[in-house]
Structure 1
């Protein structure tokens, strides 16, 4: 199923500068696999060495943070917008 993925500025070097790209997958994990096939290396910036979402990267399917849904198994229906957002820290 085709979804739209919003890419943060810091990861746009992987997408040739594109701020939004299309990807396929029934779940977030499938979408990330498809992204990595088309934009080699991007998945490694979103997932850690254990294959889990990096601590300082937030991913939303629609308006919902996947950490409060099913994580990487969160369904991604056709037409859904996925947003990858690096966390901002400071004080």
Structure 2
């Protein structure tokens, strides 16, 4: 399955500045493996040492946060959009 992956500014150094790239995979895990094959090191910025999505990184398939779905086992239908969004903290 071919999906588009939206890349946040902080990770665009891995994609040569591209804000959106294409990756293959039937699940989010497969998409991240394929993404890392094309852009070495990017998966390590999204997943922690235990292979889970980093605490301060949000990943969406379509409009759905994968933490409330199947996490890395979330299906990625052909043509889906995967968004990687770093969490933003702040306050007054």
How high is the TM-score relative to the length of structure 1?
A: 1.00
Name the count of aligned residue pairs: 91
How high is the TM-score relative to the length of structure 2?
A: 0.98
Match of 1:55 in 2: 55
CA positional deviation for 1:73: 0.1
CA positional deviation for 1:56: 0.2
Match of 2:82 in 1: 82
In structure 2, runs of 5+ residues without a counterpart are none
Written as runs of structure 1 = structure 2, the 5 A alignment for 1:10-89 is 10-89=10-89
CA positional deviation for 1:69: 0.2
CA positional deviation for 1:82: 0.4
